[in-house]
Amino acid sequence: LAKTTQPISMDSYEGQEVNITCSHNNIATNDYITWYQQFPSQGPRFIIQGYKTKVTNEVASLFIPADRKSSTLSLPRVSLSDTAVYYCLVGEQTGANNLFFGTGTRLTVIP
Amino acid sequence: DTGVSQNPRHKITKRGQNVTFRCDPISEHNRLYWYRQTLGQGPEFLTYFQNEAQLEKSRLLSDRFSAERPKGSFSTLEIQRTEQGDSAMYLCASSLGGGLYTQYFGPGTRLTVL
């Protein structure tokens, strides 16, 4: 499993765009990049997944450069309800039977 | 609610007692996972099932821990002779398959061992 490195915490004001970068220098050819969100006392929730370039859904965008050694989760116009821990995970396309979460990034949105 | 459910949500027990948790996955999901999460850390994989078969166990899963999924539907996680170090949130997740299939997590069972 490729090791990931994320900032421990970030603060942002409401309405701003937030970018959380994850480093995964040892990412393998078959690895995908997945982000989960976790609120206190809840299980993690899938946000977005990608392999290369850019992926966008109704919640976030994921930017992956050509060398795939890092990725950036972009949350547009955050609100107080986006305060949570965000985990970057790297795993194989097949056989990824378990997820390695690391410690994540604690995002605090300030009014 | 058609999501993953876990019971109980909270469990307080004394050291040395046995505890059992239950997970009901999303009905059509054939994969079921158990994770453990301690304060300030991300979830750690414990074990997973494909249907009723337990296919992988982490070395974190000591012999005091046992998990079953007898009919390929709900699963139970039992901890025997609990220790204070077992205090954690126990999370269950399910998915349609492995690899790219999203794992959907339940709310967890918070265990406190006194």
DSSP state of B52: T
- Report the share of chain B in percent with pLDDT over 70: 96
- Cβ distance of B93 and A93 shorter than 8 Å: no
Q: Is the pLDDT of residue A99 over 90?
A: no
Q: Is the per-residue pLDDT at A93 higher than 60?
A: no
Q: What radius of gyration, in Å, describes the C-alpha atoms of chain B?
A: 13
pLDDT of residue B1: 53
Is residue B38 predicted with pLDDT exceeding 60? Answer: yes
d(CA B65, CA A63): 40
Q: What is the pLDDT of residue A3?
A: 81
Band of residue B113 on the pLDDT scale cut at 50, 70, 90: very high
Tell me, what's the pLDDT at B10? 97
Residue with tokens 């339940």: B106
Average pLDDT over residues B90-103: 86
Q: How far apart are CA A36 and CA A31, in angstroms?
A: 16
* Confidence category of residue A1, pLDDT binned at 50, 70, 90: low
State percent of chain B over pLDDT 90. Answer: 78
How does pLDDT run across A11-70, given as a tens digit for each residue?
Answer: 999 999 999 999 999 898 888 899 999 998 899 999 999 999 999 999 999 999 999 999
Interchain pair A103, B41: CB under 8 A: yes
- The CA distance from A25 to A110, in Å, is 32
Q: Where are the alpha helices (DSSP H) in chain A?
A: none
Token representation of residue A7? 């900032």
Contact state of B108 with A87 under an 8 Å Cβ cutoff: no
CB-CB under 8 Å, A96 with B56: no
pLDDT for residue B2: 67
Closest approach of chain B CAs to the CA of A29, in angstroms?
14
Contact present, B28 and B36 (Cβ < 8 Å): no
Q: Do A44 and B45 touch (CB under 8 A)?
A: no
A3, A26 Cβ separation under 8 angstroms: yes
Residue B47's SS3 state is strand
> Closest by alpha carbon to A99, among B9, B53, B48?
B48
- Among A35, A99, A103, A105, most B C-beta atoms within 10 A, so best to mutate, is A99
The CA distance from A3 to the nearest CA of chain B, in Å, is: 13
Chain A residues touching chain B at CB-CB below 8 Å: 32, 41-46, 49, 85, 87, 92-104
Cα gap A68→A55, rounded to integer Å: 13
pLDDT tens-digit map of B42-93 = 999 899 999 999 988 888 788 999 999 998 899 999 999 999 999 999 999 9
pLDDT given at position A77: 93
